[in-house]
Amino acid sequence: MKTVKPKKLLRGDLIGIISPASSPDDLSKINSGVQYLEKLGYKVAVGKSVGQVKGYLAGDDPDRLNDLHSMFSNKEVKAVFTVRGGYGAMRLLDKIDYGLIKKNPKIFVGYSDINALQLAFLNKCGLITFSGPMVAVDFHSEVSAFTEENFWRIITSDKKIGRLHNPNEEKFYHLTGGRGEGMIMGGNLTVINALMGTGYLPDFKNSIILLEDINEPPYKIDRMLNQLRIAKMFDNAKGIILGRFINCYETDETKSTLTLNEVIEDYFHSLKIPVIYNFKHGHTKDNLTVPLGINTYINSDKGIVEIGESAVI
């Protein structure tokens, strides 16, 4: 797959804000996030539908779609940041003008439900996007210094990214040993499963697969990992990185259950490719930004995750 790197972000550039999935429960978080970006010296353009609420959606599909198209077509907008995840991004996939996205490659940031758009952009346009902080989730109040440093360095510098490190140099651990190299792709496990068979999921062959999730009990994690297994996604990969699985435990104490660790051990311990876990990415305050679609090297024995190039030009 031929990939395209967006241009790096410069101080004073215009950042577009869109809400293609859900709105935050507290809409003031959007303003707080915008103020944070402005204090850093960036200009901000907020999409017309941002702040709308239609049940669990941030407004009607056409309005959210129009904001997405407007930000990518606006030549002044250099990066597109999302407000939050939730649900709703997948509803837009078959309505997006991918030709417009391909002609106007820009920094595009988000995670969780936004991962659906990122994987579709990679598949249809070859666009490298950034699984990283969102405006009303990570930038609305006290911002993690670790998340900040990692994120801004990656999207503002055309120097090679190099090794990724956990906060406080906490080690990466491995379930299986070895080395692997390939295009890193993936993200939210639930989203990846929902995209299978749709035509919007990239081919994961020879890739480094990144997985994370939140609020899914072990049996659901089991079901989703099994779907990837029988689809032979793991057989054709070069390595696997397990991010954070937040609150993924059985809340009903009357139910018999496997633990999350038992489920993960069951699916990954016998693979013949390197598997790293304890990678601080996902629904966590200290969050490693990951450029999806870029070549990545891992050495699970030594706990190394390394990107030998920049993700922007």
Give the residue numbers annotated as catalytic, written as ranges.
112, 212, 283
Residues 6+ apart with CB under 8 A from 232: none
- Residues in the chain, how many? 313
Nearest to 78 by CA among 106, 104, 103: 106
- Count other C-beta atoms under 10 Å from residue 128's C-beta: 24
What is the H or E stretch that residue 106 is in?
Answer: none
Pairing type for strands 179-188 and 207-214 reads: parallel
Nearest to 305 by CA among 225, 126, 295, 313: 295
Q: Could you tell me which residues are beta bridge partners of residue 245?
A: 213
Q: What is the DSSP string of 197-215?
A: TSS-SPP-TTEEEEEEEES
In which region does residue 309 sit, left (phi positive, over 0), alpha (psi from -120 to 50) or beta (all else)? beta
